[in-house]
Structure 1
């Protein structure tokens, strides 16, 4: 009998502990969820650090839990959150300028272009933009070329050599291994399965890749030429001959302005905002400032709204999530937007390489139904819109 009492008391204690622990988590979450409106503090005479070394998506993602709202996640490091931050910084008296410091940007070229355009707009405020890197990748330099002054480490390196594409082909491998891919191909320019059918690039594929790469390179050259005051033909020469591969050559080619170590760069920033070298430079990261901007630019209730729906990632058959496009989530979002009287139009932002043909067709159908009720505008400003991404 004594043994049974001990077992029951132990079980009761465990259940009581679990209950108290669960209630404690809920209480802690409620406290965290009811924090101040502006948790990010921006100090006077601050420099905005545009370090983009995290994966940048068009939409950062939002997760909501109906029963446990304290677990909700609403990231503010998406492409448009960063652009909103740059826009706000232009009018924020506490932000004196922007520093692009050892970036290694993790964004596509079209996203980098959008960020660069936002920086050009920022410069109209009269505030400075400066850039520093030990190593400039080609995409990093494209973004940094907008800066008023570009710094480079004395033993640094720069990748500036134009654009190219490589493709592996597996036809011979299949014949030697006895394993053969069964593929269905439609159209001369549908090249995704070409590596399994050929040993070399077809003329049609070479044509479309050449047009694509030349278009991108022409755009990059035009932007860099305008910012750096270097003729486009000269930029081609610099790329072909690798005349910016180190700090000395980059400065001779006018691709950068100053050769300096990082501490000298920081001293230059201090001088630009009028503080002494022995004082600490006040900085705020773009990730934190984007959260600050999202709070400052919070939308008020309005009877006239535009719904923005993101189709980002591979298209799959199913619900989908922040990394994949599914007809379940997309269909529900489109239905909600067209039945909401406050929503006057829908913008569909596409950044997808395609995927499931069935899911793409089902999404397309929901878009057609929405078009009958209100305008649907497609933004193909993401990095890619191919296959099923084109269909929707």
Structure 2
């Protein structure tokens, strides 16, 4: 009896998880979500598996950051190198909404199908900034924030009523660099001149028939037609299986070989996700959690001590946060390097404190569209004195020490207190720049010229010496294998998320900072408020904070 070919399905309509769940409740909520690493590994396995005949994906609504889309796109291109067909199908690339990133992903496939009623919202990329100064003035709220330097624009949300020249320049370059990357990839994949694609972008929404005439898609048809066409391409019949489920079955099989893997060695994968905070990493049912200095440091120490670990990949996806917590993690990265190679892999965002914790690695890898840099600092407070006066609220206090009320929101900083803030800002910035210069082997003046709080795409950061190599997690793992003396492989089979702590160990009090329980996370009921503060760049989240956050939940290719 003839074997019916297996065709892998890729659901890009539902956002993937990019980090593993950090607590039982998050694991329960994420049980039906596919993980990015499962997709990448599953596609690589499928390319080699003789039972897999092809790949088909639903690409509309692909709400991913450009950097994540680049990693997914490269995994699809790797699958295609096997010679097996790969088909993208979409109801619409943005239904009266931006569809640039979703379409960019689809161009990795050898065929693109679009439903007759669908469109391509190939509208480009848009960067937006919110300015609250006038609203705050009307409310009687006065922001007192200091920053180093003009490109550290998180404070501008509260202190400015419009773009400063530096803010517009920095954000404009992010859009330009990312847009150029996406445009070049689309032109190369579809064989369309760049001038023609620019014309199509400027024309706005493109209907299915017009998209086919322009060469943007190959077929106009519904899902059943696309799937029937794929079945014909693989021999007339096919079995379907999601890529994530396909890979998970292999993961379970590999678990039986764990003793063999430990004997020959593995790559430890440590995730650092969310705002950088002092203490243990946190998780919340309604937020993405935080990267705690104690948790990450303990994980790095554990991986450095484990004899089965030959090298470490530190996957960072963070907008920054606490200066001292960032410095603590950097120190542990340097300490781990004394035992074995450490490769930093940047996700969608690794800026400010996220860059601080990454820069000390042996090799720093970033996707071309990763947002990184932001080497700068801010600090201050929101003064509510006028608001309280309008409301008829009076406050008074008694204290010991001239600066005891320095951080009270009811009074502005005095001149003496501003001198203290300025000294602190200068000290943190100088320390940050000096450590970048040390870790990157650059002159201090050269670092300062690309620092000043400015954000860069991974491609620009690489050009300026802040990043060593462009690529995603697979690239970082490959480098870790080479540096760790492991055999070259084209998959993630010897990668172990580290450390694996049992539920029982998580529930036990830690005996010391070296015990497994020290790497666990804490649940925080007010997690959403912390996450909001980090996203807005408020000083409460930490002085090393990114000037904006990526917003991929609302629309494709939109910046917040």
TM bucket by the smaller chain?
Answer: 0.7 to 0.9
- Deviation of 1:269 after TM superposition, in Å, equals 2.0
Paired residue for 1:54, among 7, 11, 14? 14
Rounded to whole Å, the distance in 1 between the matches of 2:138 and 2:145 is: 18
Equivalent position of 2:543 in the other structure = none
- 1:292 corresponds to: 249
Q: Which residue of 1 aligns with 2:350?
A: 385
Could you list the per-position Cα deviations for residues 326-352 of structure 1 after superposition, in whole angstroms to 9, with x for gaps in the alignment?
112101101112222333332211111
**Mapping of residues 204-223 of structure 1, within 5 Å:** 204-223=166-185
Deviations 1:69-115 (A, max 9, x none): xx9x9999322221000000112222211111254224321111111
TM-score, length basis structure 2: 0.57
The answer to whether the 8 Å contact 1:250/1:256 transfers is: yes
Alignment of 1:133 onto 2:95: no
Aligned with 1:121 (options 60, 67, 78)? 78
Summarize the Cα distance change of 1:74–1:332 in structure 2 as closer, same or farther, 3 Å threshold.
Answer: farther
Tell me the distance in 2 between the aligned counterparts of 1:148 and 1:373: 45
Alpha carbons 2:13, 2:58 under 8 Å: kept: no
Is 1:343 equivalent to 2:309 in the alignment? Answer: yes
Of the three residues 270, 283, 287, the one matched with 2:240 is: 283
Contact 1:57 1:107 (8 Å CA) reproduced: no
CA contact (8 A) 1:50 1:286 kept: yes
Aligned to 2:213: 252
Cα drift, residue 125 of structure 1: 0.9
Measured on the aligned residues, the alpha-carbon RMSD in Å equals 2.4
Partner Cα separation in structure 2 for residue 289 and residue 335 of structure 1: 33
Q: Which residue of 2 aligns with 1:182?
A: 144
Mapping of residues 328-367 of structure 1, within 5 Å: 328-367=294-333
- Determine whether 1:166 maps to 2:128: yes
Residue in structure 1 matched with residue 164 of structure 2 by the alignment: 202
Q: Bigger shift: 284-293 or 252-261?
A: 284-293
* C-alpha distance in 1 between matches for 2:317 and 2:206: 33
Equivalent position to 2:155, from 184, 188, 193: 193
Report the CA distance between 1:297 and its aligned residue.
5.1
1:100 and 2:60 correspond:
no
Quote the residue 1:324 is aligned against.
290
1:311 and 2:272 correspond: yes
Q: How far 1:46 sits from its partner (Å)? A: 2.1
SS in 2 for 1:383: strand
Counterpart of 2:147 in 1: which secondary structure?
coil
Paired position in structure 2 for 1:36:
none
**Which of 217, 221, 224 is the matching residue for 1:263?**
224
Whether the 8 Å CA contact 1:321–1:329 is kept in 2: the answer is no
Q: 1:147 to 1:306 in 2, by over 3 A?
A: closer
What is the number of residues matched between the two proteins? 338
8 Å contact kept, 2:115–2:220: yes
Aligned runs of 1:17-96 on 2, under 5 Å? Answer: 44-61=4-21, 77-96=34-53
8 A contact 1:171–1:196 mirrored in 2? yes
RCO comparison, higher one (Cα < 8 Å, 6+)? 2
Query: In 2, distance between residues paired with 1:44 and 1:324?
Result: 46
| Counterparts in 2 of 1:296 and 1:126: CA distance versus 1, 3 Å | farther
Specify every segment of 5 or more residues in structure 1 that has no aligned partner in the other structure, as ranges: 1-42, 65-70
> Given that residues 77 and 290 in structure 1 are in contact (C-alpha distance below 8 angstroms), is that contact kept between their aligned partners in structure 2?
no
1:232 pairs, out of 194, 198, 203, with 194
Conserved 8 A contact 2:301-2:336: yes
After superposition, the C-alpha distances for 1:272-299 in whole angstroms (9 at most, x for unaligned) are 22226xxxx5211123123124235555
Structure 2 distance, partners of 1:100, 1:154, is: 17
CA apart distance, 1:239: 0.3
TM-score (norm 1): 0.80
CA contact (8 A) 2:272 2:316 kept: yes
Q: Residue 62 of structure 1 contacts residue 75 of structure 1 at CA under 8 Å; is this kept in 2?
A: no
Match of residue 6 from structure 1: none
Matched residue SS, 2:61: coil
Q: CA deviation at 1:208?
A: 1.3
Q: Which moved more, 1:155-164 or 1:365-374?
A: 365-374
Q: Tell me if the contact between 2:8 and 2:55 (Cα under 8 Å) persists in the aligned partners.
A: yes
